[in-house]
Structures are given as structure tokens and as C-alpha cells.
Amino acid sequence: MLWISRAERQYKLAQDGVVSVSADLLLSLTARTMTWAICFRASRAITALAVGLAAVGVLAFDNSRYDNVAIYWGQNSYGATHSDVANFQKTLSFYCQDDAIDVIPIAFINKFFGTGNAPVLDLANTCNSTGSPFFPGTGLLDCSFLASDIQTCQSKGKILTLSLGGGGASVGFQSDSQAETFADTIWNDFLGGSSSTRPFGNAVLDGVDLDIEGGSSSGYAAFVTRLRSHFNGASKKYYITGAPQCVYPDAYLGSALNSVAFDAVYVQFYNNPCGLQVFDKASGFNFGIWDIWARTISPNPDVKIYIGAPASTTAAGSGYQDPATLANILKTTRNRFPSFGGVMMWDASQAYVNNRYDLAAKNALVAAGGTGFTFPACSAEAYVKGNNYPGSSQVSYNGYIWESKWYASSTPSGDPNGDWAPISACAGDAPSGPSGPTTTTSGAGSAPTSGSCGSVAAWNSASVYTGGQQVAYNGHLWTAKWWTQGDTPGGSAGVWTDNGACASKREAVPPTAATAVSERVLQPSRLFRF
């Protein structure tokens, strides 16, 4: 250990320009003077030193920026929907040849406790159970041939994390203690710890991503807390990220997101009723709700929110946008919300075949500006309590500009099922709005003129309803959150929002083409091949 300490001091002097040091020489000395166990630790440490020397002039990853691109790798998503093998997923270093990508979550650990109680790793056509060996007595693959690829990408200023879960995976913990034990395993096998079963050899990943889409929701706060206890005092920066669905709160990660610090959240705005396909609808796209979470609820007030997008039409069931449309969405959102951090894509194989979709997004983000945020003015009229607002009204209130999803009389709030959607953060004094009660009595989204639900049709169990449509049931007005058929308003499915007694609520908002695309896609949020 003393020798390692001296080597580190030598490297520090080299960084300061006092002396020069040769990583090759250090490796040679290590091999001659140390036991296997110490050699293993030393080789990893010295590899990091060599990478640091080689990376002089390379910008390190900066999580505070607004133009980062995160793109998943490992599941050969293109190969899951195509047969032209030439375009299947390439090895990691292939995707690190330019500056388009900043973060690569390696996907997935799709089972936490497999044979020998070891995690199960599957990287599709790159490292799988039919072509790669297992560590003895376990179901954990030895993919150590990827170590040099990982280190190459890291030497170019990118971070590579380990993603847990994935679409179709049922994962979780039975207790907090089990979660903590699993955190120790991940630390020792993939991060800065030591183990004889390291799938990526002496390569040290930069953190962990939680893409939990099935199984249990318990234990993740304990898991993250235990990981962060390992991170404390480590010689490098580690990151914790999550990939929740855009529907807020997330069914599996909601509790953990509110309890422990995440560095970034890759919100999946696809295969969901709040996806990119309804970006221009207040009742659809809900980045503003996530911005409120980031700034007022998250234990880490500096957490960054990424727009998750499919990288091609075959990468997801809904949400894909052409490059120009995505560029506009990214620029608009970046200029409206201070928590914005960039874009996440599923996945690398799809993006590269789709004319470098990742690069087009990166260029748009860079053009919008990677640093600094200026709050837009609170240009909408100030909200007036007691007023009634028709659908699509805009008001300024509590540091945000809000748009009514339909007829609204309630106070704007961060309630995802409320009458208002935050469409932009803002600063400054808002213009004064009209005072006293006002009511619009005609047009879509207006209030009924009598003590009933007006023209709102009664709920019918055989009818199909899409997001935003309204029905009368049991003396109350109800609004569908997304596609539904046969789900009783107020029932356990939770599909309907209760807007209160008919006497004080609004008329139906006629369904439009925009609401039709809010239908739920009953499939995992990511397409991949094990």
C-alpha cells in the first residue's frame, strides 16, 4: 500500500508539471514487487493514472451542464427489430469516437440474485450466456474483454455507469438489509471495490443507473444510501441516476427519488401518455412537474432532469420525434426549466443507424447553450384566487407560468392530476389579472350553466376513452388520465381523476387528434434483445 501511495504522489507531481512519470514503468514495477491481490488493486489504480495522463486536454464530464447526452448501450435494440446484422450493436468504444455522447449506461443487470446469489448481466450480442464464460459457481458473465473499451471511453471524458433493471425485468429487494448487501456486491464487482468476480476486469465504472420497470419498489433508498457510503472518500466521483416513467410519481422509483439524492434523472417521455408526442398539450407533456420535484422535493436540489427519447421509430411504441422536432423540444425545454440537463436516448444502436440521431440532438443542445440559465419573465397575468379560467388559459403563480388543462377554478399546484400544468419557470412580477369571480360560459372546457354536468355523457363500461375525455358518473365529473375501457371511475385502476360534484365543475372537452395519441402502449418501455 505504501508503494501505491508513493505512485499517487508521483502522479500528482506530474500533474503539477514538477516531474514526469511513465505509467508503463509503474506497471512494470508493480508486476515485479507485489502479490497478485495487491497487483490487482495497483493495476486498476495505475490504469486510472495512465488514463489521466492520456486525457490531458480532454474535458471531464460535467453534470451541471445543460447539453449532456446520455445513451444506453448493451441491449442491441436495433437487432431486436431488424435482421441486417451489419447494423447490430457494436462494441463500446465504437460509440466513443466523437463528443456527441457524454454518458453511457451499460444495460442491464436484469436479475439481482441469480446462481450463486450473484447478479445476472446480459449484453445481448456483445456478451451473453451463449458466447461468454461464467465465473465459477455463478450466473455472472465474464466480459472482461470490455475493460479496454470502457477505459478508452473514460479517457475521452465520458462516464459509463451500470444500469439495473430494464423493460421486462422483475427485480427488487425483500428488505433494506438485502438491498445493502446487494449494494456491496455492485461496489465490489463493478465499481471501486475488490472482488474475484469482476465482469469488466480492472475497469471501474462511474456509477449506477436504476431503470426499474417491474418487481418491487422497496429497498432502493437503502441501496443508494449504502452505495453513497462507499462513494464517500473514494478517489473518483461516482454518480447515481434513475430512469422513471414520465407519469408522476413513478410507480417503482417514486419513494427512492424523494428519499435519497440522485445526480440525474432520465425521464422516459415515450410509451407514456405524457410523452413527446403531446409536447404542446398542457394535459400531456409534464416536464414542469418534474422540474418542481427537482427544485422543491428532491434531496439533491441540483439534480438534473433529462428528456428521455427513443432514438428511432423502432426503438419504442410511441414518442419518437424527427430530429428537427426533437431539437425544438430540447431548446424550448432548456430555456424554460433550470433543472434541464440534456437528453437521454434508447439506444446507441438505433441512434447510429438513424443518421446519427444522437449527434443531431447534441448539436441542437450545444447551440442552445451548455451553461447558464436565465429565468423567463412571468409574462402571463397573475393568478387571481376565486376566478374561473377556461381551458388553455395561462397565469403566473409561485415562480411558474401555468396553463389550464381544461376549465379551472383551483389554485395552480404541483399536483400532477390537477387542473393546471407548469409550462415554464419564471421570475419577476406578473401583470395583474382581472379581479373578482369570472366565468366563461361557452366553448370547450367551460363551466356548466346549470347545476348539472351539462352536456357531459354518462360513463359507459363499453366505451373507449382517451386521455382528457370526461364523463359523468355517480354525481361527479371525471377526466380520463389516459386510454381506458371498462375501468370504473373511482375504481382501483386509478385511471380517472375525480373533478368533484357535477354542480360546480366543467363541461366535457371534446376529444381531439392530440388526445388520441395519449393511448397507453401496453409493452415494456424499452425494446431490447437478451
Angle subtended at Cα 386 by Cα 380 and Cα 387, rounded to the nearest 5 degrees: 45
Q: What are phi and psi of 415, to 5 degrees?
A: -70, 115
Q: What distances in angstroms separate CA 223 from CA 95, 216, 249, 358, one per listed residue? A: 30, 13, 20, 31
If we measure between CA atoms, which residue out of 220, 317, 300, 273 comes closest to residue 405? Answer: 273
Residue 518 near residue 158 (C-beta atoms within 8 A): no
Q: Identify each DSSP E strand in 407-495 by its residue range.
A: 420-425, 464-465, 470-473, 476-480, 484-485
Residue 340 backbone zone (phi > 0: left; psi -120 to 50: alpha; other: beta): beta
- Cβ atoms 510, 304 nearer than 8 A: no
The conformation of residue 297, written as its DSSP 8-state character, comes to T
SS3 412: coil
Cα–Cα distances (Å) from 375 to 282, 307, 341, 395, 424, in that order, read 20, 19, 15, 16, 9
Q: Report helix, strand or coil for 159.
A: strand
- As annotated, the active-site residues are 213
Cell numbers placing 521: 402502449
Q: State the Cα–Cα distance between residues 425 and 238, nearest whole angstrom.
A: 30
Minimal CA–CA distance to 315: which of 110, 107, 80, 87?
Answer: 80
AA letter at 175:
S
* Separation CA 363–CA 473 (nearest Å): 50
- Retrieve residue 341's grid coordinates: 440537463
